[in-house]
């Protein structure tokens, strides 16, 4: 089945008495774009989190935010005591040489670059944090995927309803096209007979048949109807996740990889065939039904923009 590109998920877990909270939100995008915000203490995990998100999601803008709760200050940063002591001693020396009193504000000194630095966990602790955080991110991602799948099912139902109406209209067009040539023959014969009645001339049936044959060939829409019907079948197969319509599955990729892009392309082809039918057909009823079909295709094209 197809998935939506809109979703939200959150999860949290505790590591060494520190609570990590993850929130992931996804919205529409033609490609996959990730945005990750992490506390400085775990900034080294950005690449691993990005890989995890790209492994689970194929399209959309993905915003991932990782936060910390109930964390002790010494777990987040260290003070560069050596640099701080060197600055205070130098300021004191300057004050003594100038024979003036100098009050040193430690808080102001801590705002200087390099005074406060994030803690760097050792190798074992870093690996422990990495595994725990990625597990939290995975749980939040699973929630996103569940939400996207639920919305995808709703999208598929809506798309299938539009395709069903198009199929019905297409059958009526096909039935109507079978009698259009005969109606043209009758109308043309009647008009010519009316024009020739005063001249007491007879219409050459061979010429009339040749004219009707030219008209029938010029207005033949059987190929366009067949192609549009084929596009509808392929569209439905992709919505249902039929393996035979998904070559990417043969390469070991997810069954719904780039489904939205394929559906977008097919919907464009559907519109092109509908336009050709309208331009070739000179029957009012067929044109009216084509207009209804084009309205449905426009709705399909709008919905397809939400599909992963």
Instruction: Give the model's pLDDT for residue 240.
Output: 84
Instruction: Give the model's pLDDT for residue 181.
Output: 57
Distance (Å, whole) CA 275 – CA 277: 5
Give which of 190, 245, 243, 234 is closest to 212, Cα–Cα: 190
Relative to beta strand 116-118, strand 18-27 is unpaired
Rounded to 5 degrees, φ, ψ at 65 are -125, 125
pLDDT 10s digits, 32-49? 999 999 987 788 899 999
Model confidence, pTM: 0.70
| Cβ neighbours, 10 Å, residue 199 | 7
Instruction: Give the model's pLDDT for residue 250.
Output: 38
Instruction: Give the model's pLDDT for residue 252.
Output: 40
Q: What percent of the chain has pLDDT over 90?
A: 42
What mean pLDDT comes out for the span 14-27? 88
Instruction: Give the model's pLDDT for residue 251.
Output: 39
pLDDT greater than 60 at residue 257: no
| C-beta separation of 168 from 14 below 8 A | no
Contacts for 21 with CB less than 8 Å, ≥ 6 apart: 10, 11, 12, 66, 67, 68, 69, 136
Average pLDDT score, the chain: 80
Instruction: Give the model's pLDDT for residue 100.
Output: 76
156 or 125: which carries more pLDDT confidence?
156
202 or 263: which carries more pLDDT confidence?
263
70 or 297: which carries more pLDDT confidence?
297
HEC per residue, 163-218: HHHHHHHHHHHHHHHHHHHHHHHHHHHHHHHHHHCCCCCCCCHHHHHHHHHHHHHH
Task: Give the three-class secondary structure for 226.
Answer: helix
Question: DSSP letters along 14-26, please?
Answer: EETTEEEEEEEEE
56 or 219: which carries more pLDDT confidence?
56
pLDDT 10s digits, 133-155? 999 999 999 999 999 999 999 99
Relative to beta strand 18-27, strand 60-69 is antiparallel
Relative to beta strand 32-37, strand 60-69 is parallel
Relative to beta strand 32-37, strand 7-15 is unpaired
Which strand (E) or helix (H) includes residue 303?
A: helix 284-304
């Amino acid at each position: 089945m197809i998935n939506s590109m809109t979703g939200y998920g959150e999860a949290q877990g505790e590591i060494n008495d520190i609570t990590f909270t993850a929130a992931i939100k996804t919205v529409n995008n033609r490609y996959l774009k990730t945005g990750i915000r992490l506390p400085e203490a775990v900034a080294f995990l950005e690449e691993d989190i990005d890989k995890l998100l790209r492994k689970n999601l194929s399209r959309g803008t993905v915003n991932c935010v990782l936060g910390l709760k109930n964390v002790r200050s010494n777990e987040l940063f260290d003070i560069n005591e050596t640099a701080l002591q060197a600055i205070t001693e130098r300021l004191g020396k300057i004050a003594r040489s100038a024979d003036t009193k100098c009050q040193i504000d430690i808080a102001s000194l801590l705002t200087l670059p390099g005074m406060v630095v994030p803690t760097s966990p050792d190798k074992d602790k870093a690996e422990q944090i990495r595994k725990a955080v990625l597990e939290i991110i995975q749980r939040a991602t699973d929630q996103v995927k569940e939400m996207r799948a639920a919305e995808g099912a709703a999208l598929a139902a809506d798309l299938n309803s539009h395709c069903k109406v198009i199929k019905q209209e297409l059958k009526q067009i096909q039935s109507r096209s079978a009698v259009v040539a005969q109606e043209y023959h009758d109308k043309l014969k009647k008009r010519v007979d009316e024009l020739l009645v005063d001249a007491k001339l007879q219409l050459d049936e061979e010429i009339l048949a040749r004219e009707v044959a030219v008209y029938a060939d010029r207005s033949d829409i059987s190929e366009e109807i067949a192609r549009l019907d084929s596009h509808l079948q392929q569209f439905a197969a992709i919505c249902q996740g039929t393996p035979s319509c998904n070559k990417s599955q043969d390469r070991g990729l997810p069954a719904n990889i780039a489904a939205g892009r394929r559906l977008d392309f097919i919907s464009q082809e559907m519109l092109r065939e509908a336009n050709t039918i309208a331009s070739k057909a000179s029957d009012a009823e067929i044109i009216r039904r084509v207009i209804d079909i084009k309205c449905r295709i426009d709705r399909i094209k709008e919905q397809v923009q939400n599909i992963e």
